[in-house]
Amino acid sequence: MAAATIKVFLPSGDAKRLRTAEISNWAGKAVAAPRSEFKELLAREELASAGIYLLTGVNPETGGAMVYIGEAEVVWKRIKNHTAKDFWNQALVFVSKDANLTKSHIKYLENRLIERAKEIGKAALNNQQASGAKLPESDQADMEVFLSRILQLLPLLGTDIFTPIEKFSGKKKEEAILVCEIKGLKAAGARTSNGFVVYQGSQAVTKGRPSANKFVVELRQRLLQEGTLVNKGDHLLFSKDVEFSSPSTAATVIIGGNANGLREWKDNKGTILKDIEGELL
């Protein structure tokens, strides 16, 4: 991804309220706001333009992330109709400062974002289908650049659902891989910029500990419900790579109860994560 200088403006001075973001030498602009400032968002002049919008929040059925991805020639007219959707708590809008986005452009961008959300798999889609649009080769190249800038801004604006889980290879993978073992079961994982990833094929206990708190119980249930954890009888199996917020959260799922990830995760020499990171200081 190309280096970037990003300008974020906070109209109220509060980073959690309405804000705008721009990238140097890019014709696009982002406007983001929590649902509590929906009225202020709709009043922004940028939303009178054609653009892409995302509504992000929590899936009420699983507790995981959920997103609605849409497009409109006049964003505020379309987005105001989504108040009946209860799941979302943040809106993000992307427009062109030079008003050069056409209906075909925004349909193309909507389709590409939906495709990427499905590919990454971090969030459930509230809308599964997009009509898409065929573009001339030159326009398609321009929209791919526009898309790359949208993806660059999204983590800064509070969502990483389009950011793929980090992959390691070669010597770096050997150095990064850590294991967590319990009752003959083994899980493999690694630190990432967003937290900690547990790799596909890792194992976890089938029954949680009696002392497990509500968070651990509900997290394991959600992973089972969505098929991320599969019951194999004598153990649970991770069906795909899963990124957690911390090594401890990852370990609690594997062990089935409260755990200190800095002690549970070890390298191939048996050194715990706490000591591994201590050596780096």
Report the candidate in 95, 114, 119 with the shortest Cα–Cα distance to residue 22.
Answer: 95
Is it the case that residue 155 has pLDDT exceeding 80? Answer: yes
CA 207-215-275 angle, 5° bins: 85
Residues 6+ apart with CB under 8 A from 170: none
**92 pLDDT more than 70:** yes
pLDDT of 278: 83
Instruction: Return the pLDDT at 193.
Output: 84
The CA distance from 198 to 267, in Å, is: 14
Report how far apart the first and last C-alpha atoms of the chain are (Å, whole number): 28
Q: How confident is the model at residue 107 (pLDDT cuts 50, 70, 90)?
A: very high
Residue range 30-59: mean pLDDT, rounded: 96
Region 38-48: mean pLDDT is: 96
Tens digits of residue pLDDT in 46-55:
999 999 999 9
Do 143 and 108 meet the contact criterion of CB atoms below 8 Å apart?
A: yes
Average pLDDT over residues 85-101: 94
Tell me the average pLDDT across 211-220.
Answer: 91
Give 170-195 as a DSSP string: HHHHHHH-EEEEETTEEEEEEEETTE
Asked if the model's pLDDT at residue 98 lies above 70, the reply is yes
Q: Is the dihedral of CA 152, 154, 159, 162 positive or negative?
A: negative
Q: Are strands 19-23 and 229-231 parallel, antiparallel or unpaired?
A: unpaired
Strands lying side by side in the sheet with 236-238: 203-204, 236-238, 229-231
How many angstroms separate the Cα of 9 from the Cα of each of 13, 17, 26, 154, 247? 8, 11, 16, 15, 34
> pLDDT (tens digit, 9 = 90+) per residue, 179-198?
999 999 999 999 988 899 99
Average of per-residue pLDDT across 231-258: 95
Tell me the mean pLDDT in the region 257-262: 94
- Mean pLDDT, the chain, rounded, equals 92
Q: Where do we find the tokens 């992330």?
A: 65
Q: How many alpha carbons lie under 13 Å from residue 180 in its C-beta half-sphere?
A: 31
Contacts of 195 (CB under 8 A, 6+ apart): 243, 244, 245, 246, 247, 249, 250
Tokens of 182: 């319990």
Distances from the Cα of 264 to the Cα of 111, 141, 186, 251, 278, angstroms = 42, 47, 11, 7, 15
Please give the average per-residue pLDDT across 246-271, as a whole number.
94
148 pLDDT more than 60 = yes
Q: What is the DSSP letter of 148?
A: H
User: Which of 226 and 261 is assigned the larger pLDDT?
Assistant: 261
